[in-house]
Amino acid sequence: MKDIYRIIYEKLDRVGVFSVNQYAVIERPPDLPLCIDRLAGDVYALSQNPTVDGVVIADPDMEIRVFHQNRTAEPLSFQDRNGKRVVYPEPGKVDLKAKNELAEYLDRWLSDLLSKGYIRSQ
């Protein structure tokens, strides 16, 4: 059985995240657009930005590190209207509970996005 980090990688690939060089938006009305930012060579951010009380907020907003050589991807941080969680709070430290919970969330979110047709066309 594949581990969750390989499954996340495959789903990111199916969405088309790896073809983004800087920034892209996938529109799927009436659902919220999916924003994809390439923050560094191996780090991407995915977000959906609803308007709440006239203010645009990132909910959810996740940063993800990709390891192409291993075909794996892991969450680095998660932010929504309730706050922010970080997997690596400081160098040499990992919050395993956050890493596991955010990986499960990312896996579910990507499945939901794919089921709604969020696939980037080239």
Q: Which of 59, 50, 31 is nearest to 117 (CA)?
A: 31
Percent of the chain with pLDDT over 90: 79
The residues near 9 (Cβ < 8 Å, ≥ 6 apart) are 66, 67, 71, 72, 73
pTM as predicted? 0.91
Chain Cα centroid distance, residue 106 = 6
Q: Which of 99, 116, 113 is nearest to 13 (CA)?
A: 113
CA distances from 57 to 14, 33, 76, 78, 106 (A): 26, 13, 19, 13, 18
Q: What is the pLDDT of residue 122?
A: 53
Q: Which of 80, 79, 102, 76 is nearest to 89 (CA)?
A: 76
What's the average model confidence in pLDDT over 35-54?
90
Q: Is the pLDDT of residue 1 over 60?
A: no
What's the average model confidence in pLDDT over 80-103?
94
Q: Is the pLDDT of residue 77 over 60?
A: yes
